[in-house]
Structure 1
Amino acid sequence: MRILFIGDVVGDRGMEMLESRISSLKQQYKPQVTIVNGENSTSQGRGITKAIFKKMMGMGVDVVTLGNHAWNNEEIYQFIDDTPKLIRPANYPDAPGNGYTIVNVNNTKLAVINIQGRVFLDTIDNPFVVLQQLVDKLQKEVDYIFVDCHAEATSEKMAMATFLDGKISALVGTHTHVQTNDAQILPHGTAFLSDAGMTGPIGGVLGMQAESVLSRFLNARPVRFNVVSSGAAVLGACVIDLSDKDGHALKIKNMVIKSDDPIEN
């Protein structure tokens, strides 16, 4: 099985970049499953709407994952229970929606889990405990398990992947909007990448207008971060090949595509 995973889509430029590139990526790599993190995909860069989710599905996305901004757009409470291919972090206590979904591909099953770290983020349920429980359950039901680990600390993501090495097919990090250079297959067969990076504008700071971010650093007062709405953009992603025999990873390739790069045919 081949999985295409695309990192945090940020604002309108992120959606434009996704729309302009996903067809060529799918044509070039021919993934059986395409997964996109959409927790920053609104024009404001926080949360997701039903219209955006449906647009992603129309592009050929199979599963949309979320993160700590899942609840910033209140509209999500109206539709997340009815959209099983939109998943939020599984370790939010008593939250609507689901923390995982199962995709059927040619008589095999892939479980996609969304989990959120706790270092430098909200102290929600222990992600290690929740993941262990889910993996124990899903190992009996599916052939492959993919985890989107939405977390700030590289050490926490690496620790989770090591904790479950050999029990899951892959763990890819999201949230920091900066792609890391540590794509690897761990000793027992789990593919790992600390962060896939973002899909969105590269001007400003991590997709946000620099003025508001600098203001927060300089005076420590609350300020609204505004998304960069024009200019160059980037798409952060990875492609993972999984063994049909045991569900372990065979290969992981990370990539960064800039808006001025030629489109592959």
Structure 2
Amino acid sequence: MNILFIGDIVGDRAVTELCSWLPGFRAERHVGLVVANAENCAPTGLGMAEAQVRELLAAGVDVITGGNHSWDSEESVKLLELPQVLRPLNIGAHISGRGLLRLDTPAGEVTVVNLADHSAMRSVKAIEDTFRPAYGAWRDADPRGLVLVDYHGDHVLEKQIFARAVDGVATAVLGTHSHEATIPLHVLPGGTGFVTEVGMTGPADGVQGFSYDILVKGLRETGDPFSGGIPGPSGGPVVLGAVLLETDGKRTVRVERITW
């Protein structure tokens, strides 16, 4: 089965451009499953918005994953009730949302797991206190069938160690959160596909997809780039950050970067 994984989607323009492209690509490349990290898909770039989530699902995204921005607004939190929308698994069970989804596909059962590292989650104070290590949550998750992991984190080392630890069990570990794609595309010895950072689907002329003027002004004038608030997504051309996995049973046999 061919699986498309789309990195952090930033803003509503990115959603619109992605959704106009996705159905044709899915048909052309015989994609059986599409997973997208969309925690930044709201027009502000912070959290999710219902219009954009519905647009993604209608265009052919099967599962939406998240991270530290999954709780940025009441609307975003409400969307965690949708069965197709995940947030990191390794936080308290009493926190809204779920971190694992099992679904049936023509290729058999698929488990999608959303994990995060502590550095990614520390900005969410109400949730940080419930954080547990990703590997412990993984070990208790009972993943079955073909297993995809969105590992939302800052630390390259943690992502790479985790991928090695689950090699041969997970079909793929795909890194998100930093928005800056890494070059190497790995198929580990046990058959686990691994990309340290898939990259961003959003405006390429900003910082992590966001306009930078206010941030630069804040840094220059106060030493704090966020003293003037967080700006919205940049207005420049949108780029795609994604990878296409070719799988055979529960193993990945090929990883291809997809971009425009």
TM-score normalized with structure 2 length: 0.90
The equivalent of 2:90 in structure 1 is: 91
For the 8 Å contact 2:120–2:177, the answer to whether it is kept is no
State the 1:216 CA deviation.
4.1
Query: Which residue in 1 is equivalent to 2:125?
Result: none
Q: What is the aligned partner in structure 2 of residue 252 from structure 1?
A: 255
> Is 2:223 aligned against 1:220?
yes
Alignment correspondent of 1:195: 197
Given the alignment, which residue of 133, 137, 155 partners 1:130?
A: 137
**Amino acid aligned to 1:239:** L
Rounded to whole Å, the distance in 2 between the matches of 1:166 and 1:97 is: 28
Residue 72 of structure 1 deviates from its aligned partner by 0.2
Moved more, 119-128 or 31-40: 119-128
SS at 1:70's partner residue?
A: helix
Shift of residue 15, structure 1, vs aligned partner:
1.2
**Cα distance, 1:229 vs. partner?**
4.5
- Give the unaligned 5+ runs of structure 2: 123-127
Distance 1:12 1:100, change over 3 A: same
The answer to whether residue 240 in structure 2 is matched with residue 241 in structure 1 is no
- Does the alignment pair 1:3 with 2:3? yes
2:135 is paired with a residue whose SS is helix
Counterparts of 1:97-246 in structure 2, within 5 Å, are 97-106=97-106, 108-119=108-119, 121-122=121-122, 123=128, 124-134=131-141, 137-138=142-143, 142-218=144-220, 219-221=222-224, 222-244=227-249
* Match in the other structure for 1:59: 59
Q: Is the 8 A contact 2:45 2:233 kept in 1?
A: no
Alpha-carbon distance between aligned partners in 2 of 1:102 and 1:50, rounded to the nearest angstrom: 23
List alignment gaps of at least 5 residues for structure 1.
Answer: 258-265
Name the SS for the 1:16 alignment partner: helix
Name the aligned partner's letter for residue 132 of structure 2. D
Residues 77, 24 of structure 1: alpha-carbon distance in 2 compared, 3 angstrom cutoff: same
1-structure distance, mates of 2:256, 2:219:
35
Cα distance between partner residues in 2 of 1:76 and 1:43: 12
Give deviations 1:74-123, integer Å, cap 9, x for gaps. 12333422x11100100121211110111211261110011111136415
Amino acid of the structure 1 residue aligned with 2:255 = I
Residue range with higher mean Cα deviation, 46-55 or 179-188: 46-55
Q: Deviations over 1:57-82 (max 9, x none)?
A: 1001100001110000212333422x
2-side partners of 1:107 and 1:18: how far apart? 25
SS at match of 1:250: strand
Q: How does 1:73-84 map to 2 (within 5 A)?
A: 73-81=73-81, 83-84=82-83
Query: Does the CA-based 8 Å contact 1:173-1:196 persist in structure 2?
Result: yes
CA distance in 2, matches of 1:182, 1:48: 29
Q: CA deviation at 1:241?
A: 1.3
Q: CA-atom RMSD, angstroms?
A: 1.6
User: Which segment is superposed worse, 27-36 or 207-216?
Assistant: 207-216
In 1: Cα distance, 2:251 partner to 2:219 partner: 43
- SS in structure 1 of the partner of residue 175 of structure 2: strand
Q: Is the 8 A contact 1:121 1:152 kept in 2?
A: no
User: Which amino acid letter does the alignment assign opposite residue 254 of structure 2?
Assistant: K
Q: What TM-score comes out, normalization by structure 1 length?
A: 0.89
Preserved contact between residue 104 and residue 110 of structure 1 (Cα < 8 Å): yes
Q: Which amino acid aligns with 1:184?
A: H
Identity %: 29
